[in-house]
Structure formats: C-alpha cells, structure tokens
Amino acid sequence: MDFNLNEEQLAFQEAARAFAQGEMAPKAAEWDENKIFPVDVFKAAGELGFMGMYCPEEAGGMGLSRLDTAIILEELASGCTSTAAFISIHNMATWMIASWGSDAIKAQWCGDLTTGQKLASYCLTEPGAGSDAAGLRTTAKKEGDEYVINGGKMFISGAGSTDVLVLMARTGSQDEGARGISAFAVPADLPGIEYGKNEDKMGWNSQPTRAIAFEDVRIPAGNLLGSEGEGFKIAMKGLDGGRINIATCSIGAAQACINHTQAYMHERKQFGKSIASFQALQFKLADMVTELIAARQMIRLAASKLDSNDPEKTTYCAMAKRFATDIGFEVCNSAIQLHGGYGYIKEYPIERYMRDARVHQILEGTNEIMRMITARRVLEDGATDILR
C-alpha cells in the first residue's frame, strides 16, 4: 500500500509539527520535572481540532481517519510524548461518548471535549483486572432510573484532573464475564468518587495517574453508553484505535531521539574527529532509522485496516502495537548509548523520551497480550492467508 501523504495529510502534519515544536517541546522538561498537567495546552490543541480528531463532525470533532490521526499524533509525541499520549487517551474516550452516547449525553459533553475545554479519562483497569479486562468487578446496579456504582479503578490517566470518566462496570453477574459489562459516561466530580495519590512514575509525568474509588455513586440511567452488556465490545473497539495511537506515540518519541542523535553525532568530537565519521556508529544509526520506518509503515497499514473495517483489523492493530512500541523504546535506548554519558543526564531530552516510551509496551494491552491476540488468530482453522 502506498503511504505517500496527500496534500491534506501534509497540512495536518505541518500544523501538528509546528504546534509540537512551538507549544510542547520547549516546556516538556518542566512538565516532567514538576508533574504539571498542561491544561492550557490541551485547550490550544483543541483550537486546532486535536482533541477530537476522529470524533464525528456532527459531534464537534474533525471526523478524521485513523491514518490521519496517526500522522498528527506522531508529530505531537515528538514534542512531548507524555502529553501526546494523554491527548490520544482523551480522543479515545471522547470518541466513545460521541459514538455510543445518547443525544442528550453528546450534547452535554462532546462540544467541550472536542475543543479541549473539558477532559476525559478512560476507566477500564482494576487492581485485579488488567490484562484480564473481562474479569473486572466494579458494579453498576440499576435502581429505578439510576445506576449505583461501587468499586475501584487504578492506573487511570488524568484521574482527578479530568471532567468525565468513561467507565466500564459490571451490570451482569461475574459469571457472565465480558457479556455482563456496560459502559457509562460518569461526571468526575460526583459524590462518592474519591481519587488516590498521583502515582510517582518512571515517565508520563505531565499527566497524573491515580486510582479511583466509587462508593454508592449515582448516575442517571441515560448515562449508559450503548446498551447494557455492550461495554466490553465498546472497550475493545476503542482499544483497536488506542493501540495504534499509543504505538504512534512511541514512533514520535523515537523520531525525536533520532533527530537529536543526528545533530549530536555531527557536533561531538572524539579522537580528533566527529563521531559521525565512525562506521560502527553510522551502522547503529542506520539500523535505528530502518527499524523506525518499518514500524511507522506497520502502524499506517494497521490504521488503514481499521479505516476500511477490514475483518483482520484487530490482528493488525495488535501486531503494530507490539512491534512499534518495542522498536520505539529500543530506538530511544540506542540514542542514549550514542550520546554516551550525556544521554543519561537531563540536560539532554533523550532520557525523558525513553522513560515516557517505556510504558507503551505495557498499556492498551501488554505486548504479551498482543502476541496472544496475533497467535490465536493465526492458529485458527482456515487462517492461512489472513495476513497476505
């Protein structure tokens, strides 16, 4: 498939690159050091449409394809990977509300979410239900024209600083597994919602990560997204795109590291000459660039499969997520090696890109789960030609 960008995509790329380099990169180190959640930057990103990229236009979004979105997110991640990753999560949660919310819920939330005036968190993971998302235990019991929510979530990006929670909770019995899960739009400031401490993390410090406890939290029945029992399907549809998004953030971090490394290799002198003249280091950089481009093209292939609703889209998204997040981290790590001791100190941004990229191999489904998804599909009867 030809992934030459068209004029519109090139314009998106240019706009995102200018925003990333003008509004994000100069402040990224401060956000990381001081754990600043840059709300004003989200509002500015919203003015460009970046907070509702693939939300339908009728809900206030740009209605972009997942391929267009990947092009934009890569540029944003090259400015600040952590902040771009939150933008990707916000986009996923907003898309869920826009796609499955009632007209009233969409009217209540989508206008402010797609412009970045309000922010959304995605609440799936629990202390005992990470990779086994179908085993979640948070409950939403219907009482009259309300649902009453009890339980807890953990590792929730933006929690405590966002306005609405896209929550997966159990409306059926535990024995029903995935079939008993429903999705809800929950205002983040309701009585009975308590937030834990902002976790002290290796990376992703420009976005808070907290546990959330729900105790007898009441929401109108109309806050249900889709139908009862449809929540797990909604979550998995969201994660197909979410996996492309987070893979793209890895590639943005890796591209930034390559850009810094290219410049550094020309500037740094050893044994009387630029280290760019050493063949061993040239070969290392060549491998980094080759692997980066392969990962980028795999992401774009998966995005095109999602855009065309290809029957194998989930497998392609899983493969792209696994490959690109592994490669992204390896490229960032190699960039540190090529910088030597300078790569390890915070004067240079390489170590921050590596720290921010590391978690991408864990979230949106660990890379071990991505391998399971891929292997199970390939080993199914009649699956010989699925990846041709």
- The CATH number given to whatever domain includes residue 176 is 2.40.110.10
Digit-coded pLDDT (tens) for 140-193: 999 999 999 999 999 999 999 999 999 999 999 988 888 999 999 999 999 999
**86 within a domain of the structure (yes/no):** yes
DSSP string across 74-90: HHHHHH-HHHHHHHHHH
Taking 60 as the threshold, does the pLDDT of residue 1 lie above it? Answer: no
CA distance linking residue 209 with residue 357, whole number of Å: 16
Residue 278: the pLDDT is 94
Residues 259 and 374 in one domain: yes
For residues 236 and 280, state if they share a domain.
yes
Last residue of some domain: 80, 95, 114? 114
Q: How far apart are CA 204 and CA 209, in angstroms?
A: 9
Give pLDDT tens digits for 73-110: 999 999 999 999 999 999 999 999 999 999 999 999 99
What is the C-alpha separation between 146 and 127, in angstroms, rounded? 26
In angstroms, the first-to-last Cα distance of the chain is 12
Report pLDDT digits (tens) over 333-373: 999 999 999 999 999 999 999 999 999 999 999 999 999 99
Does residue 360 contact residue 328 with C-beta atoms inside 8 Å? yes
Confidence of residue 381 (pLDDT cuts 50, 70, 90): confident
Do 296 and 310 belong together in one domain?
yes
Q: Are residues 206 and 244 in the same domain?
A: no
By residue count, the chain amounts to 388
Which residue range forms the structural domain that includes residue 288? 232-378
Mean of pLDDT values over 194-217: 98
Residue at 59 is within a domain: yes
Both tokens of residue 202? 């290796």
Same domain, yes or no, for 189 and 307? no
Instruction: Please tell me the predicted confidence (pLDDT) of residue 384.
Output: 65
Question: Do 175 and 244 share a domain, yes or no?
Answer: no
More confident residue, 78 or 387: 78
Confidence band, pLDDT 50/70/90 cuts, at residue 388 = low
Q: Which two tokens stand for residue 354?
A: 């590596």
Cα–Cα dist 161/355, whole Å: 22
Q: Is the pLDDT of residue 39 over 50?
A: yes
Rounded distance between C-alpha atoms, residue 278 and residue 25, angstroms: 30
Residue 367 lies in a domain: yes
Domain match, 221 and 240 both: no
Residue 387 falls inside a structural domain: no
Question: Taking the alpha carbons of 274, 279, 282, 284 in that order, is the dihedral positive or negative?
Answer: negative
Domain C-terminal end among 229, 262, 293: 229
Lookup: tokens for 74: 């890569």
Largest CA distance in the chain: 79
Dist CA 190 CA 204 (whole Å): 27
Same domain for 298 and 248: yes
**Within a domain: 71:** yes
Task: Tell me what pLDDT residue 129 has.
Answer: 79
Nearest alpha-carbon partner for 138 in 215, 196, 239: 215
pLDDT at 155: 96
Q: Average pLDDT, whole number, for the chain?
A: 95
Is residue 385 included in any domain, yes or no? no
Is pLDDT of 386 > 70?
Answer: no
Active site residue 7: no
pLDDT tens track for 234-244:
999 999 999 99
More confident residue, 131 or 213: 213
Q: For Cα atoms 139, 143, 146, give the angle at the middle one, nearest 5 degrees.
A: 85
Share of the chain above pLDDT 90, in %: 91
Do 356 and 237 reside in the same domain of the chain? yes
Supply the pLDDT for residue 196: 97
Q: From 24, 123, 17, 25, select the one nearest 349 (Cα to Cα).
A: 25
Q: Identify the sign of the CA torsion 279, 281, 287, 288.
A: negative
**Does residue 2 have a pLDDT over 90?**
no
Check whether 387 has a pLDDT greater than 70.
no
Provide the domain count of the chain: 3
Pair of tokens at residue 175: 């024995």
90 and 135 both lie in a single domain: no
Among 197, 229, 261, which residue terminates a domain? Answer: 229
Would residue 280 count as lying in a domain?
Answer: yes
**Residue 199 phi/psi, 5° resolution?**
-60, 140
Q: In three state form, how does the secondary structure of 206-245 look?
A: CCCEEEEEEEEEEEEHHHEECCCCCHHHHHHHHHHHHHHH
Question: Where does the pLDDT of residue 197 fall: very low under 50, low under 70, confident under 90, or very high at 90 and above?
Answer: very high
The active-site residue out of 126, 364, 368, 380 is 364
**How many contiguous H segments (helices) and E segments (strands) does the chain have?**
11, 10
Give the domain CATH number at 316: 1.20.140.10
> Residue 76, CB half-sphere, CA atoms under 13 Å: how many?
30
What is the amino acid identity at position 118? Answer: K
Residue 217 lies in a domain: yes
Q: How far is CA 318 from CA 45, 241, 244, 263, 303, in A?
A: 28, 10, 8, 34, 11
Q: Are residues 222 and 240 both part of a single domain?
A: no
Residue 17 neighbours by CB under 8 Å, 6+ apart: 75, 78
Q: Cβ atoms within 10 A of the Cβ of 223, count?
A: 24
Q: 312-326, pLDDT tens digit by residue?
A: 999 999 999 999 999
Vertex 123 angle, CA 119 and 127, to 5°: 140
* Higher pLDDT pick, 373 / 2: 373
Residue 304: pLDDT band (50, 70, 90) is very high
Cβ neighbourhood burial of 102 (10 Å; 0-12, 13-18, 19+): middle
Q: Which pLDDT score is estimated for 3?
A: 65
pLDDT at 139 over 90: yes
Q: Are residues 366 and 277 in the same domain?
A: yes
pLDDT at position 326: 98
